[in-house]
Amino acid sequence: MADLVAIASDRLTAGIHPLGAELRSLTDGEGRQLMTDADPAFWAGHAPLLFPIIGAMAGDVYRLGERSFAMARHGFARRSEFALVEADHGSALFRLDASEASRMHYPFDFRLDMGFALAGATLAMTATVSNRGDTPMPFSFGYHPAFAWPLPVGGAAEDHRIVFERDEPAPIRRLDPATGLVIPAPQPSPVNGKVYAPKQADFEADALIWDQLASRSLTYGVPGQPQLRIDFPDTPMLGIWQKPGARFLCIEPWAGIADPLGFTGDFADKPGVMKLAPGAQQRLRMDVTLLES
């Protein structure tokens, strides 16, 4: 943990690693870890940033006009070293700029700034994607934080609930196990009104994906105990995932999605892809707040 950049408030402490600008630790005032234990027997990640794609591309290749490019699942930001631009007691800003290496996979002059700020019981995370080139830039972006399941603030894993701010009756999407691509046929929502009760068996076929999400906020935890409120005003999709048997639950606000099975079109036309005009910026925020019971 020596390489972590630490920030703190009177209620929370966070640790961020420059590799991927990844949140590795979030603890409450009693030192209880709210993030995954990152047991490598299941998954050693903590909270990778997904850029410039989310999920898998067919054959790990995508097309832009007449050219094709290789891109591994979830993009390259999570494996890239970010520069620490500035940091103080309660905040830190990390930056990833386009490079000769990145242009081999993504031929755009981008900048990705990742800011973290703690105030009281809230960790505010803001990604700012900038198009510094002279052509429109297609991209996706997603958060992928893994929270402790069960949370160490009280209650058993089976008593945890995700409560959305709105009813979520729309069907969900699942992934093809052989390719990681989105199966076209929708599946019934597991949400009862606003409430989803996660079970490890739900994830034997990989993530649950909401691509018609009504909510932009939810709470996670055991009713009657301290919980986490997760706000994601700028991302219209959500993935929830874990490895069965592990002690984490990933709650992932996304602006983008994996390739649909059979998709052969241009990356710029893929479902969920955003487009930035030359000189433009797009901010995508995610806040995590520890709520008292």
List pLDDT tens digits, range 16-60: 999 999 999 999 999 999 999 999 999 999 999 999 999 999 999
Please state the rounded mean pLDDT for residues 193-207.
96
Say if CB 287 and CB 125 are below 8 A apart.
Answer: yes
pLDDT attached to residue 293: 77
Give percent of the chain with pLDDT exceeding 90: 98
- 98, 105, 159: which is closest to 131 by C-alpha? 98
In angstroms, rounded to a whole number, what is the distance separating the alpha carbons of residues 87 and 96? 16
Determine which helix (DSSP H) or strand (DSSP E) holds 101, and give its type and residue range: helix 100-103
Taking residue 293's Cβ as centre, other Cβ atoms within 10 Å add up to 12
pLDDT attached to residue 127: 98
Judge whether residue 246 has pLDDT over 90: yes
Please state the rounded mean pLDDT for residues 196-200.
97
pLDDT attached to residue 88: 97
CA distances for 271 relative to 51, 54, 260, angstroms: 15, 11, 8
Please state the rounded mean pLDDT for residues 172-190.
96
Provide the CA 136 distance to its chain's centre, in angstroms: 24
In angstroms, rounded to a whole number, what is the distance separating the alpha carbons of residues 110 and 52? 10
List pLDDT tens digits, range 258-289: 999 999 999 999 999 999 999 999 999 999 99
| Arithmetic mean of pLDDT over the chain | 97
- 163, 116, 145, 153: which is closest to 9 by C-alpha? 116
Judge whether residue 210 has pLDDT over 80: yes
In angstroms, rounded to a whole number, what is the distance separating the alpha carbons of residues 67 and 204? 36
Judge whether residue 1 has pLDDT over 60: no
pLDDT attached to residue 148: 98
List pLDDT tens digits, range 88-126: 999 999 999 999 999 999 999 999 999 999 999 999 999
Q: Can you give the residue ranges of every domain in the chain?
A: 5-291
Say if CB 16 and CB 7 are below 8 A apart.
Answer: yes
Judge whether residue 161 has pLDDT over 50: yes
3.30.43.10, 2.60.40.1730, 3.50.50.60, 2.70.98.10: CATH of 5-291: 2.70.98.10
- 15, 59, 50: which is closest to 34 by C-alpha? 15
